[in-house]
Each structure stands twice: as structure tokens, then as C-alpha cells.
Chains A and B, each alone.
Chain A
Amino acid sequence: MSKDIRIKRGFTLNLEGEADKILTDIKPSKTFALQPDDFFGVTPKLLVKEGDTVQQGAPLFFAKENPRIHFVAPVAGQVTAIVRGAKRKILEIVIEENTSLGAVAHQIPSLDGLDTENVKELLLQSGAWPFIAQRPYGTLAQPEDQPKAIFVASMTSAPLDVDYDFLLKNNKAEFQKGIDVLAKLAPVTLTTDGNFKGFFEKITNADVVGVTGKHPAGNVGVQIHHLNPVNAGERVWTVNPEDVANIGALFLTGQYAAQRTVAVVGSSVNKPQYVKATIGASLEALFATVEVDNNQLNRYINGNVLSGKATRPDGYLGFYNNIFSVIPEGNDYRMFGWLPFVDNHIPSASTTSLSWLFGKRKAKVNTNLNGEERAMVVTGEMEKVFPMDIYPMQLLKACMIQDIERMEALGIYEVVPEDFALVDFANTSKIEAQEIIRNGIELMIKEEG
């Protein structure tokens, strides 16, 4: 067992609207959708057309980059719409649920007799492969690679993030099974809250490491950087804890599992709580289960308020996120709001605000930019919220000028946009750091493959 680690730099946003530890089932959702945009670096090639009926677990599309990777239907039913955007890009594959069609059944032999290749093949066939992402770049794992480790991060620190010990309380057996499956592929590191390890402490077949510290200590990338950093040419795979349970369920039942428990959080949610749903469930059903205060304009976010994706209130749950955040839009003016030490209700990592005095108070935030974009002037502030041995501003600048060699030298292999979410939040000049890093990574993939 490795030694516990403590992340020193960072900034934890204490927000209003944390989920109560209540787990309810989602109200029936009429439609479900898979959104190919959830899979970074994947160009979808459709296997179904509108009107087709599919069983649960039947493939909907595959990745053009690697045809072995299939993306399957989270529920059985009829494909009612394929929603396309600009340049005919596929945005949503909508399925109207019909449980009578049943599920695709897989023959799962005993795990003891399987080698790495057998396990990979089973995951690929069943459609569970997309649960596995990789570092560098945060793209899907490639089955041809041999990773040096698999990281499962149950320690969380993002604003209003979930407690996996609670979220997985009914899936402990599946979780252990999933860890056993992953351990067939590479050594598994399971990180957990250093102050309260919960049931993760008893998980076998994995190296359980306690992590403490401010956000972004819960980012799997930060944990990898401190425990087993990715060097050029190396691969580390990452799996969300609930997806470990989904993989475990597949190996226990022989059916593709698409359970997605989401904490519906944020100050616009009337009674924030956990909801047991399915990947791609309609938000309509979600809000029928947990009410949202519609007296103001809201922003709906698949994920946390720092790195999540904005969506429409009539959209669908994302593939990976265990949080769904709803916060008020901030399209109003604040007179003289730029003066130091005024409007201290807005959280700030800078001491030009007195918000640090109210450290424990839960803040109500909105989506106002709180200023305008400016040239990069202030130095040292990004490092304060970026607990890696990487120079964030220099890496951002290398990405902006598209200097691949410099990006490589400065550590682009170790970061994904999520790691720059706090830089987005805290930087004085309102630089869109996540977007710059995403563009940088896309360039790296294009040039280096």
C-alpha cells in the first residue's frame, strides 16, 4: 500500500446547494440520448438509422479512429432521432425506451481463466470500453496500448462534488468485481479521501491511497502527477468509480450496465439530492424527480460548475458526469463592482476581496464573468491553484503559439482541460485556459497521433 498524499496548493469553492444524502430513483424517462461529444477525440460512425430498434447494449456507433471501440445503447428501444449540428456533426442519438426488447446477453467465463486480451475483448464487445479513458490527453483508452497503471479516483474535491462512499453504497459487490476485472489489465490505484476512506479501505486487488487537500486534489490528473506521473510515450488509464461498478455488473450479470447516479446540485435546485438514473436519461425526467427553481434564468451543467458542459433544460444527462449542476445566470450589472473589497459574497481566490473572511460560508454563485478579458498581466496566481510541477502560464502560452515541442517539454502529457478549470476561475485576466489547453491537446493529437 502506498503512502497517503497531501496536495498543498489549490482552492476549494464552498457553494450553496450541496446534495443531501438521499438517494431516489429517477421518474421514468421517455427518451434517452447518447451524445458523441462526451467522448473527446472520437469521430462517430453510425451503425443505426432513425426508426431502427435496438436492444439494451446493442452498438449505436463506433469510433472512426479505432473501429474496435463500440458505443452501445444504454436502454432498449427505438432510435427516434439523430440530431445533427453544423457540418452534419452528430450531436444526439435519441432512443425512445421500450423495455420489452430486452438486452444483449454476453457469455462471461470465470475471471480466473481470462488473460488481459480476453478481458479487453469482452469489454470491447459489450460496449463497456468507453468507460476507460487514458492519460495523456484525456481521450478514450486504446485497446492496443499497455498502460502502466489504472487510476480510480474516489476522492473528490470539485465544487459540490459527490461522496462516492454514499453513491456506491448499494454497489459494493459490483465495485469490487470491477476492480478485479481492471486488475487483469494493469495494476490498479484506488484513491480515496484521506480523512474518511469508507468502504474503499476494504477493497482488495488495488493499491488504496488516501488523498487530502484542497481542490483540485480530487482531479485524477493531479493524483496521477503526484503518484505515478505520465512520461512521454507512457499511458495511464482512468475509470470513474461508478463505471468500475458498471464494469463489475457486466461481469456479474453478462449485461451491459449503464447506471448513472447523479447528485443534482446548485443553488437553483430546491432539494439537492442524489438520483439513481441511467446514462443519457432526459433532463425532463430528472427535473420531475428533483425540482428546480425556475423564477430566474438558470444554467444547466452536465458536470461541476468549473469544468462541466452547459446543456439545455430539455437535454440529456452526459455519459460520464456524476454531478448535474444548476446555478442562476449572472447577466446583470454590478455598480462599481470592480472596487477592491466590495461584493465579498462572490468567492475569490484573491485577497483583493474579503471573501476569505467568510471561508466556511456557502456562497451562492452565478455565471457572471465578473470583468472582461484582458491581456495576461498578473503572474504567480495560476501556480497557486495548480498543484503540479508544471508552469501553467508558460504551458498556456506555448499552446497559444502552437509550439508543439515547447508544449511537450512543459508537460502537456500530464494535463487535461479539467486541470485548468481553477485557472479559468481564478485568473485576473479572464483567460479561457481550458479552451486553450483543449485546442493544444487537439493539435498534439493531430500532429503526433
Chain B
Amino acid sequence: MNFIRQQLDNIKKPFAKGEKYERFAPAINAFDTFLFVPNHTTQKGAHVRDAVDLKRTMVTVIIALMPALIYGIYNTGYQYFIQTGEAFTFMDAFLHGAWKIVPMIAVSYIVGLTIEFIFAIYRGHEVNEGYLVTGLLIPMIMPVDIPLWMVAISVAFAVLIAKEAFGGTGMNILNPALTARAFAFFAYPTYMSGNKVWVSEASNVDAISGETILGSLAAGSEVNYSFFEMFQGAIPGSIAETSTLWVAVGAIILIATGVGSWRIIAGGIAGAAFMGFLFNLWGANALMSFDWMNHLVVGGFAFGIVFMATDPVSAAQTNRGKWIYGLLVGVLCILIRVFNPAYPEGVMLAILLMNVFAPTIDHYVIEGNIKRRKKRWASAQLKTA
């Protein structure tokens, strides 16, 4: 360890204050602090500090994403092989998926981190860790056959427009990963919807319909999957969204570590279940009579409410606000699913819409607190008068 430390200190010398490459220090620091927690001591304020930092928080999210990602990689291969009808092993399916998905992740990180590093150097602050999560989320919510250059453009759009334009990490209004998906969704609709994009190589294999469940429902056709199949996730869909089971494992990790807000997740599930149940009672068409339990396990709802809606920057920030925000995401998601057949999946738009309204929710929650204080003051005035 000491040897590595010495080597690093040598490498860092030309980047020190007043040296030749001073302005590139954020870039080299990002690598250094990846290896070592720096030797910085407290200069003001509390003399001792918690072990937690933003890196640790973000890495926790990445750990929580792993079960869904690994299952997503497997499912990509699984969907491909049942479509072609070839015999296959678990390893075959996994390798096929990895061959498709690893390049997408690489492209997302390379493009996104390059932009992040440039902005860090330009603005003279350290590289924030937020993109480690965003960069993994973006490929996980894309259809598997999307061309890599589209991934690259979506990433660039999301990081530049959704994040850096607002001032960088912590300042953005919209969730960057969902912005990337929304960008691809509206810019390249043929690659993002229909029945040819959800299964690997589906457009090259004839006669097999790889439509998602919600897509089939919107088109008015029958769904032949059981609740358990949908829960387990061996269904067509965006890469890592299909398995509610493994998303739930991630949710447990997020809630246990306190990194994801259980209020948002619980609120979202309650909102979606309530809305689904209302539509069940109405039951005018196939989507309306689609069982409310099933609504919770198909499409991207589970993935969205666990990993996207809980993004602390774009969600509501007050505890009461988080409940309201979660509930409304759930309600809107089912509403969009049922009422707008052009967008069979509603969770992306529901979350983006609520991202925009989150500050308003917080505003009213905080106004309530302010009013309470004013009232206390007024009653104190009365007592003394």
C-alpha cells in the first residue's frame, strides 16, 4: 500500500498548486481518491466526521443495481434463444447478453465521464460521483438492440442538458438517466418502441413477436404470461427492468442502507396499486381490467420507482413531500399506461413529470412549517398582550 501511495504522490506532483498542470488536478484527483480516501483533515466545524461520503453512497446504489443487471444480461440471452429456438445453457444466454450489454455500458461511461471530467476541469471543482450511477442506469433502461451511437448521443444530451446546464450534480431538475431515455424515445421512436426492439436481434429473426406485455395490452392482444413469470422477469422489455424479483432485492439493499427513500418506494407502490384497483373496478378495456397486482410487476414500474424515483436530487426533499411525490408517481404511471396507448409504459413520463413538480410539493410542505412557526408566534403575542 505504501508503495502505491508513493508512486501516486510522484505522479501527482506536476498537478499540485502552482505547478504546470494545476488545472487538470480534478482529473488526477478523481483517480487518486478512487484508490485512497484522501488524508484531508477537518479544518473547521466538527472535528470528527462520519465514515460516509458521496462515493460510498453511490457505490451502494451500484451494488443494489447488480442483481437486476446480472439478471438483465441473462434474460437478454434467454429471450434471444427462445426466439431462435436453439438449445442453450445458462452460460450461453449470459454470454450473449454480456456481448450485447457490456459495450453499451462502456460507451455510456466513456462518453459521460469524459463530459464530467471536462466540466470538472473547466469549473475547477472535483469530479462528482453521481455519474457512476447514471452511467450504469442509462444502458439498463434501454432496449437491447439500440445502436451504440444512439446510446452515446443520449448520454451526451442527458449530461449536458439535464445536468451540467443546471449547474452539475445536485442542481439538476430532471433525473439524468431518464432524460437520456426520454431523449432516445422521442428522437428515435422506431428503436425505442414496437415489437421488434425488445428481444435481441428480433428484427433479423422472422415471425416472432417480441412485444412487451404492456405493448400487447395496448394493442388489444392477449397476454400469456403468469403473474409469477412476470414477477421473476423472463419477459421481453428494456434490459434490466423485467425482473421485479431482482429489483426488489436491490430495493432491500437501498432501504437497508438508507440510500433510497422507503417513503418514495412505499408511496409509489401504494399509488400504483390504488390506481390499478380503481381501473379494475371500471374495467372498460383490456388495460383497465389488467389486474392491479400485475401492474406492479410488468414493465418498468418496479425499476423506475426503486432506482429512478428515489434519486434524491430530482425527487422531493422533505419527508412528507416524499410520500406525496411517490404516491403521485404511482398514480400517474398507471394513468398514462391505461389512457395513452401511444406510450404503453407510463413510468418514465410519470417520474419525469413528478421531477418537475417535486419542488412545488416541497414548497407547500415547507410553507406548512413556516405557517406553524408564525402561528406559534402569534399565540405568544396574544398571551403577553
State which residues 312-356 of A face B: CB under 8 Å. 325, 327, 329-340, 343-344, 346-353, 355
Which residues of chain B come closer than 8 Å to A232, judged between CB atoms? Answer: 377
B-contact 0/1 string along A422-441, CB 8 Å cutoff: 10111111101111000000
Question: Distance (Å) between the CB of B356 and the closest chain A CB?
Answer: 17
Indicate with 1 or 0, residue by residue over B32-56, a CB within 8 angstroms of chain A CB atoms: 0111111111101111111111111
Q: Is the CB of B35 within 8 A of A335?
A: yes
Tell me the A289-331 residues at the B interface (CB within 8 Å): 299, 301, 305-308, 310, 325, 327, 329-331
**How many Å from the CB of A341 to the closest CB on chain B?**
9
Residues from chain B with Cβ under 8 Å of A104 in the complex? none
Measured in the bound complex, the distance between the Cα atoms of B370 and A410 in whole Å is 6
> Is the CB of B257 closer than 8 A to any CB of chain A?
yes
Chain B residues with Cβ below 8 Å from A394 are 317, 366
Stretch at the interface among A94-102, A185-193, A370-378: A370-378
User: B373 — nearest CB in chain A belongs to which residue?
Assistant: A411
| Interface pick from A26-34, A59-67, A256-264, A360-368 | A360-368
In the complex where A335-B36, A411-B373, A429-B54 touch, is A366 in contact with B48 (Cβ < 8 A)?
yes
Chain B: number of interface residues, binned into ranges: 35 or more
> Do A432 and B44 touch across chains, with their CB atoms under 8 A apart?
yes
- In the assembled complex, the Cα of A376 lies from the Cα of B39 at a distance in Å of 22
Residues of A within 8 A of B216 (CB): none
Enumerate B250-282 residues with CB–CB distance to A below 8 Å. 256-259, 261
Query: Which chain B positions have C-beta within 8 A of A25?
Result: none
Given contacts A350-B258, A352-B259, A411-B373, contact A377 B54 (CB under 8 A): yes
Which of B36, B126, B315: most chain A Cβ within 10 A? Answer: B36
In contact, A352 and B312 (Cβ under 8 angstroms):
no
- A369 contacts B by Cβ under 8 Å: yes
- Given A351-B258, A372-B33: A231 and B376 interface contact (C-beta under 8 Å): yes
Question: What residues of chain A lie closer than 8 Å to B319, measured between beta carbons?
Answer: 380, 383
Which residue of A333, A390, A434 contacts B5 across the interface (Cβ within 8 Å)? A333
Asked whether B63 is an interface residue with its Cβ less than 8 Å from the other chain, the reply is yes
**Is the CB–CB distance between B54 and A371 below 8 Å?**
yes
Given A350-B258, A375-B171, A434-B44: A370 and B39 interface contact (C-beta under 8 Å): no
A20 to B156, CA, bound (A): 60
Could you give, for residues 155-186 of chain B, a 1 whenever the CB lies within 8 Å of some chain A CB and a 0 otherwise? 00000000000001111000000000000000
Q: A305-B47, A343-B51 are in contact. Are A377 and B40 (CB under 8 A)?
A: no
Partner of B35, one of A336, A349, A381, A424: A336
CB distance from A89 to the nearest CB of B (A): 17
Q: Does A229 contact B (CB under 8 A)?
A: yes
Contact B50 A347 (CB under 8 A): yes
Q: Mark A1-44, 1 if CB is under 8 A from B, else 0.
A: 00000000000010000000000000000000000000000000
With contact pairs A333-B36, A350-B52 given, residues A421 and B46 touching in the complex (Cβ less than 8 Å): yes
B209 within 8 A of A: no
Q: Is B234 an interface residue (CB 8 A)?
A: no
Residue of B nearest to A365 (CB): B48
Partner of A377, one of B5, B57, B373: B57
The listed residue (B50, B259, B322) touching A349 by CB distance below 8 A is: B50
The contact string, 1 if C-beta is below 8 Å from chain A, for chain B 123-141, is: 0001011100000000000
**In the complex, are the beta carbons of A367 and B47 less than 8 A apart?**
yes
CA–CA, A425 to B47, complex, Å?
8
Question: A229 with B376: in contact, given A331-B39, A367-B47, A394-B366 (CB under 8 Å)?
Answer: yes
Which interface residue of A308, A348, A378 has the most chain B CB atoms within 10 A?
Answer: A378
Q: Is the CB of B53 within 8 A of A430?
A: yes
Q: Of residues A159, A390, A428, which shows the largest number of chain B Cβ atoms within 10 Å of its Cβ?
A: A428
A91 within 8 A of B: no
In the complex, residue of chain B having the shortest beta-carbon distance to the beta carbon of A375: B170
Residue of A nearest to B58 (CB): A377
Q: Are the CB atoms of A13 and B37 closer together than 8 Å?
A: no
CB of B313 within 8 A of chain A?
yes
Using Cβ atoms and an 8 Å threshold, which residues of chain A touch B49?
368-371, 424-425, 430
In the bound complex, CA of A367 to CA of B39 (Å): 10
What is the CB-to-nearest-CB distance from B79 to chain A, in angstroms, rounded to a whole number?
32
- Cβ of A203 within 8 Å of any chain B Cβ, yes or no, is no
Q: How far is the CA of A149 from the CA of B40 in the complex (A)?
A: 43
Q: Are A375 and B169 in contact (CB under 8 A)?
A: yes
Judged by a CB distance under 8 angstroms, whether A82 is at the interface is: no
Bound: A433/B59 CA distance, A: 25
Contact B36 A369 (CB under 8 A): no
Nearest neighbor of A334 in chain B, beta-carbon distance: B37
Q: Which of B40-92 contact A (CB under 8 A)?
A: 40-42, 44-57, 59-60, 63
Give every chain B residue within 8 A of A234 (Cβ-Cβ): 380
Q: Please give me the residue from chain B that is nearest to A411 by CB atom.
A: B373
B59→A372 contact, CB < 8 A: no
Complex contact B47–A306 (CB within 8 A)? yes
Q: Chain A nearest CB: distance from B273 CB in Å?
A: 24
Q: Which residue of A331, A337, A375, A424 is within 8 Å of B36 (Cβ)?
A: A337
Known: A337-B36, A338-B53. Contact between A308 and B47, CB under 8 A?
A: yes
Contacts of A307 in B (CB 8 A): 46
For residue A48, CB closer than 8 A to chain B, the reply is no
A389 contacts partner chain B, Cβ-Cβ < 8 Å? yes
Is the pair A374, B53 in contact by a Cβ cutoff of 8 Å? yes
Cβ of B56 and Cβ of A338 under 8 Å apart?
yes
Task: Pick the residue among B37, B171, B372 that contacts A371 (CB under 8 A).
Answer: B37
Q: Is A199 an interface residue when CB atoms closer than 8 A count as contact?
A: no
Query: Which A residues touch B261, using CB under 8 A?
Result: 379-380
**A168 interface hit (Cβ, 8 Å):** no
Assess whether B48 is in contact with A367, with CB atoms less than 8 Å apart.
Answer: yes
Q: In the complex, are the beta carbons of A231 and B380 less than 8 A apart?
A: yes
In the complex, chain A residues 265-288 whose Cβ is within 8 Å of any chain B Cβ:
none
Q: If the complex has contacts A339-B56, A352-B60, are A391 and B128 also in contact, measured as CB distance less than 8 A?
A: no
List chain A residues, Cβ under 8 A from B45.
Answer: 421, 424, 432-435
Cα separation A391 to B59 with both chains bound (whole Å) = 27
| Chain B min CB distance to A372 (Å) | 6
A367: chain B residues within 8 A (beta carbon): 41-42, 47-48
CB 8 Å contact bits of A141-182 with B (1 = contact, 0 = none): 000000000000000000100000000000000000000000
In the complex the two chains form, is B126's CB within 8 Å of A372's CB? yes
Residue B318 at the A interface, CB < 8 A?
yes
Q: How far apart are B317's CB and chain A's nearest CB, in angstroms?
A: 4
Q: CA separation between A347 and B258, bound complex, in Å?
A: 16
Q: Which A residues are CB-close (under 8 A) to B360?
A: none
User: Are A426 and B50 closer than 8 Å at their CB atoms?
Assistant: yes
B190 at the interface (CB under 8 A from A): no
B41 touches A352 (CB 8 A): no
Chain B residues within an 8 Å CB radius of A231: 373, 376-377, 380
* A-side contacts of B322, CB under 8 Å: 380
Q: A424 — which chain B residues lie within 8 A by C-beta?
A: 45-46, 49
- Taking the closest CB of chain B, its distance from the CB of A252, in whole angstroms, is 35
Cβ-closest 4 pairs across A and B = A371-B53, A375-B170, A337-B37, A424-B46
Q: Would you give 8 A-B contacts (Cβ < 8 Å), ordered by A?
A: A231-B376, A348-B50, A368-B42, A370-B51, A370-B53, A380-B317, A381-B258, A435-B45
Given contacts A310-B47, A369-B49, A380-B261, 9 further A-B contacts (CB under 8 A): A332-B39, A335-B1, A335-B37, A339-B56, A349-B50, A352-B259, A379-B312, A409-B374, A425-B46
